[in-house]
Amino acid sequence: MKFKKILTLGLTLALAGSLAACGAKKDTASSGSKNDKVITIGASPTPHAEILEQAVKPLLEKEGYTLNIKVFDDYVLPNTALDEGSIDANYFQHIPYLNKTIQEKGYNLTYTVKVHIEPIRVYSDKLTKLEDIKDGAEIAVPNDATNEARALKLLAKNNLIKVKDGELVTVKDITDNPKKLKFTELEATQLPTVLKDVTAAVINTNVALSAKLDPNKALAVEDKDSPYANVIAVKKGNENSDKIKALDKAINSPEVKKFIEDKYKGSIVAAF
């Protein structure tokens, strides 16, 4: 009799455990379904987070999605966070930079849609014309591979230097420097802080806007047909998920294009 009671008690506990486990699985699935309506995206402060917060978020809310925007102040952590899965997407980089990061880090990332182009520009606190740059002047440029190449090619197009052919050129690839210009390579976000110390600096538009620089007062600007379109990046395999499709549709909408045109007045250009 005692053995039967023990056996009955054991079966009851096992059944209770089984039901509890089923309940836990159900709760987890329910939570997962709820999370599918939350899109967490990493972005640079300006203009990316502004576009997401002011133009994209309201469109997604109409479709039943919550847009959670995580702001990053550097160019490294957003791709790390995306590869690790702590965010669903990021929006801060152009295609060559993404490709370079994938090549260097081995990240399993890709991009979905192009959103806007930020022509890189030459700024100066000391000059009003590029032609006034004197011999031996110091020019600050971004130190990451893709943006440094953009900067040098812009200077070459304006006949200050000549560089080798190739996608990712650096100061070591300068083949002619008639003014004996000196180049200082710095992290892109630091460039506005050294304008007072150098003759000029080549600065990305998002960084310039964050530093309250006026792109219309730049000494030179990259062509608007630049291949450096900023994109939505995701982990491979997630590009066709419902929430990424919803994000892509919203950020490539006529409403977002109008927002970019009205707010940035040509300092950045829609790429769709």
For 29, phi and psi rounded to 5 degrees?
-65, -40
Domain residues for 126?
Answer: 121-221
Which pLDDT does position 6 carry in this prediction? 37
Helices (H), 2-76: 2-35, 50-51, 57-62
Q: Is the same domain home to 152 and 200?
A: yes
24-73 pLDDT, tens digit per residue, is 333 333 233 455 899 999 999 999 999 999 999 999 999 999 999 999 99
Q: Is residue 14 part of a domain?
A: no
Question: Rounded CA gap, 98 and 110, in Å?
Answer: 8
Number of CB atoms found within 10 A of residue 85's CB:
9
Q: Is residue 26 part of a domain?
A: no
Q: Is residue 239 part of a domain?
A: yes
82-133 pLDDT, tens digit per residue, is 999 999 999 999 999 999 999 999 999 999 999 999 999 999 999 999 999 9
Cβ atoms of residues 215 and 133 within 8 Å: no
Q: Is residue 15 part of a domain?
A: no
Which pLDDT does position 167 carry in this prediction? 87
Q: Is the same domain home to 216 and 239?
A: no
Q: Is the same domain home to 213 and 247?
A: no
145-189 pLDDT, tens digit per residue, is 899 999 999 999 999 999 999 989 999 999 999 999 999 999 999
The count of structural domains within the chain is 2
Q: Is residue 31 part of a domain?
A: no
Model confidence, pTM: 0.74
Q: Is residue 264 part of a domain?
A: yes
Q: Is the same domain home to 104 and 82?
A: yes
211-246 pLDDT, tens digit per residue, is 999 999 999 999 877 789 999 999 999 999 999 999
Q: Is the same domain home to 126 and 261?
A: no
Q: Is the same domain home to 100 and 131?
A: no
Q: Is the same domain home to 132 and 210?
A: yes
CATH of the domain at 253: 3.40.190.10
Helix (H, G, I), strand (E, B), or coil: what is residue 223? coil
Q: Is the same domain home to 247 and 214?
A: no
40 forms bridges with which residues in the sheet? 68
Which residues have CB under 8 Å from 12's CB, separation 6+? none
Q: Is residue 27 part of a domain?
A: no
Which pLDDT does position 35 carry in this prediction? 59
Q: Is the dihedral of CA 59, 245, 40, 263 positive or negative?
A: negative
Q: Is the same domain home to 129 and 115?
A: no
Which pLDDT does position 34 carry in this prediction? 53
Q: Is the same domain home to 41 and 72?
A: yes
Q: Is the same domain home to 100 and 165?
A: no
Q: Is the same domain home to 208 and 250?
A: no
